[in-house]
Chains A and B, each alone.
Chain A
Amino acid sequence: DAGITQSPRHKVTETGTPVTLRCHQTENHRYMYWYRQDPGHGLRLIHYSYGVKDTDKGEVSDGYSVSRSKTEDFLLTLESATSSQTSVYFCATTGASGASSTDTQYFGPGTRLTVL
């Protein structure tokens, strides 16, 4: 399995506060992704990165921003958290060969975020 860690693993915050989630990988994978998992919706793509400083929006990007200043780190920021952003957030990476439709995505353990 790819070495993917996420921090924090659990966080409780209040509406209107900024929150940053971190994803760290040790596999030198080029592509990194942020998803949110909600009951009845499966996983939905928030943002992804195809290289350092190269990012793009996913299906549910409103209210989120990302940054990638190093290959190994991909940060997800909620500028002003809302209760609708209560969810479990997963980071994923795709292998070093670059994005091919046959590439497997490897997932981190997830961050459970609760916005009160």
Chain B
Amino acid sequence: GDSVTQMEGPVTLSEEAFLTINCTYTATGYPSLFWYVQYPGEGLQLLLKATKADDKGSNKGFEATYRKETTSFHLEKGSVQVSDSAVYFCALSDPNTGNQFYFGTGTSLTVIP
């Protein structure tokens, strides 16, 4: 079945450091891929998405490229800020499974000044 695997956390970085959070997926069809962010006490918010192979999603300095050959969608940011501290979820939506969403377990990021 479909699934998403993302790197275990927690991740702690100093301000202005480079961020990578790895995400790989398994899907029966040609899924769309998403990164969501969750700030403390809040629901999930869409950060970025990519709907087909080689697409790059980007938002607020974050980027992720849909790599079909490696079934990956790694999240990157060149210079993190304290305000980026949150939990990040990788997710997919697969048309072969009724467009249900499948989420990774989440990666907690803490950025220290």
Does A107 contact B99, Cβ atoms closer than 8 Å?
no
Q: Mark A82-116, 1 if CB is under 8 A from B, else 0.
A: 00000000101010000111111111111000000
Closest-CB distance, A104 to chain B (whole angstroms): 5
User: Known: A42-B104, A42-B106, A43-B89. Is A101-B99 also a contact (CB below 8 A)?
Assistant: yes
User: Known: A1-B45, A104-B46, A104-B49. Is A41-B100 also a contact (CB below 8 A)?
Assistant: no
Q: Which of A41, A43, A102 contacts B93 (CB 8 A)?
A: A102
Tell me the A residues contacting B by CB distance below 8 Å: 1, 4, 33, 40-45, 48, 58, 90, 92, 94, 99-110
Tell me the B residues contacting A by CB distance below 8 Å: 4, 29-32, 34, 36, 41-46, 49, 51, 89, 93-95, 98-101, 103-106
Can you list 17 A-B pairs with a CB-CB distance of less than 8 A? A1-B45, A45-B101, A48-B100, A90-B43, A92-B44, A94-B99, A100-B95, A100-B99, A101-B31, A101-B32, A101-B94, A101-B99, A103-B93, A103-B99, A104-B34, A105-B101, A106-B46
Taking A99-B99, A101-B99 as given, write out 18 further A-B residue pairs in contact, using a Cβ cutoff of 8 Å, ordered by the A residue number: A33-B101, A42-B105, A42-B106, A43-B44, A43-B101, A45-B100, A45-B101, A90-B43, A92-B101, A101-B29, A101-B51, A102-B49, A104-B49, A105-B44, A105-B93, A107-B36, A107-B43, A110-B41
